[in-house]
């Protein structure tokens, strides 16, 4: 079987789930850029099922699959060989970096987009990826710490509510508010304007 980068991208060109495919230069791997149908397939069936389908498609052309796959929802700005190799060699994301953020009257509002290749989706759940509730709490603590001066740990959790599933590529709004007198961090995630999850976390002010 051939595994040349050109052969890989040629056979993936026009795949119904892909907006593009970019092979590494010196790294044996492919960046898959999903279109709307591909994102839907990922959300409905999970990363491994998506890759199994793509690898079967590649094999049908007599092309060997590379050992490294990365899944994106948009093409990277830099498509140079060096940049593609660096992306393929980098670890899969384990968090969602804020797209935008602002503070008003002590309330922080951050917009996050859940990466399609988020490593935590692999085990929760392999065939129906959902952002774990414990991770939502952990992200709230981690994002509040540098903005509100709170600890990265909480002593107790109160009034936790999980009302909507958060899935790959979702764009969510996270609000953070500290009630310093009571030592409680209020957090809430919203999806398309609707409440997704919320709670109160008993925290301490960080020192030094």
Last residue of a domain, one of 30, 59, 89: 89
Cα(33)–Cα(41) distance, rounded to whole angstroms? Answer: 13
Both 135 and 65 in one domain: the answer is no
Both 85 and 131 in one domain: the answer is no
Cα(58)–Cα(22) distance, rounded to whole angstroms? Answer: 14
Give the pLDDT confidence of 93-142 residue by residue, as tens digits.
Answer: 999 999 999 999 999 999 999 999 999 999 899 899 999 999 999 999 99
Strand partners, 108: 103, 176
State residue 5's pLDDT score. Answer: 81
Mean pLDDT, the chain, integer: 95
Confidence of residue 156 (pLDDT cuts 50, 70, 90): very high
Both 109 and 190 in one domain: the answer is yes
Range of the domain at 53: 5-89
Answer whether residue 76 is part of any domain: yes
Total structural domains within the chain = 2
Give the pLDDT confidence of 17-32 residue by residue, as tens digits.
Answer: 999 999 999 999 999 9
Here the CATH number for the domain that contains residue 64 is: 3.30.300.30
Task: Tell me the CA distances in angstroms from 72 to 5, 42, 92, 108, 150, one per residue in order.
Answer: 18, 11, 11, 28, 33
Confidence of residue 4 (pLDDT cuts 50, 70, 90): confident
Answer whether residue 207 is part of any domain: no
Answer whether residue 139 is part of any domain: yes
Both 38 and 108 in one domain: the answer is no
pLDDT at 207 over 80: no
Cα(189)–Cα(77) distance, rounded to whole angstroms? Answer: 29
Pairing of strands 29-34, 68-72: parallel
- Percent share of the chain, pLDDT over 70: 97
Both 83 and 103 in one domain: the answer is no
Answer whether residue 111 is part of any domain: yes
Q: Is pTM beyond 0.85 here?
A: yes
State residue 205's pLDDT score. Answer: 81
Chain-centroid distance, C-alpha 207: 31
pLDDT at 201 over 90: yes
Confidence of residue 58 (pLDDT cuts 50, 70, 90): very high
């Amino acid at each position: 079987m051939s595994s040349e980068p050109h052969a890989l991208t040629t056979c993936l060109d026009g795949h119904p789930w892909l907006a593009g495919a970019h092979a590494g230069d010196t790294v044996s791997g492919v960046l898959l850029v999903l279109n709307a149908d591909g994102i839907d397939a990922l959300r409905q069936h999970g990363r491994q099922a998506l890759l199994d389908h793509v690898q079967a498609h590649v094999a049908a052309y007599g092309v060997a699959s590379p050992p490294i796959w990365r899944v994106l929802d948009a093409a990277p700005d830099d498509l140079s060989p060096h940049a593609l190799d660096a992306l393929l060699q980098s670890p899969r994301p384990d968090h969602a970096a804020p797209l935008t953020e602002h503070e008003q009257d002590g309330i922080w509002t951050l917009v996050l987009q859940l990466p399609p290749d988020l490593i935590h989706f692999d085990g929760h759940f392999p065939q129906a990826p959902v952002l774990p509730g414990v991770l939502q709490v952990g992200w709230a603590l981690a994002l509040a710490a540098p903005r509100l001066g709170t600890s990265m740990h909480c002593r107790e959790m109160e009034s936790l509510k999980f009302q909507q599933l958060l899935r790959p590529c979702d764009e969510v709004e996270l609000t953070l508010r500290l009630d310093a007198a009571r030592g409680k961090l209020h957090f809430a995630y919203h999806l398309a304007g609707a409440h997704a999850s919320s709670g109160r976390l008993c925290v301490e002010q960080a020192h030094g």
